[in-house]
């Protein structure tokens, strides 16, 4: 049962990360407003969407799942810092 919950939560988290990337592409202006002072905010929005998709796919691959989880942790930490400044 514990294994099923672990795998299920991994897939749900990957799906949410994919959805976040889709929302970056659908509504880039909202995300670009968060990047005041950046030279090319829309490029950064699309780049972060691609990064979220990449990390979500890597999270689904068992042999790189731990590395992907660490990458997501770093990405979230950087993103949170950027929003608070």
* Domain boundaries defined on the chain: 1-60
Mind listing the pLDDT tens digit for each residue in 24-64?
999 998 888 887 777 888 998 999 999 999 999 999 999 99
pLDDT number for residue 83: 59
Average model confidence (pLDDT) across the chain: 88
Query: Where is pLDDT greater, at 32 or 15?
Result: 15
CB atoms within 10 A of CB 20: 15
Tokens 């731990």 belong to residue: 66
Do 43 and 49 touch, CB atoms closer than 8 A? no
pLDDT number for residue 32: 85
**What does pTM read for this prediction?**
0.81
Q: What are the DSSP calls for 28-64, one per residue? A: HHHHHTT-TT-S-HHHHHHHHHHHHHHHHHHHHSGGG
Q: Is the dihedral of CA 19, 21, 27, 30 positive or negative?
A: positive
């Amino acid at each position: 049962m514990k294994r099923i919950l672990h795998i299920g939560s991994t897939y749900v988290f990957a799906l949410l990360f994919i959805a976040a990337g889709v929302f970056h592409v659908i509504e880039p202006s909202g995300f670009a407003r968060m990047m005041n002072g950046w030279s090319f905010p829309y490029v950064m929005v699309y780049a972060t969407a691609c990064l979220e998709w990449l990390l979500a796919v890597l999270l689904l691959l068992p042999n790189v799942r731990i590395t992907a989880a660490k990458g997501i942790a770093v990405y979230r930490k950087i993103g949170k810092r950027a929003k608070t400044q």
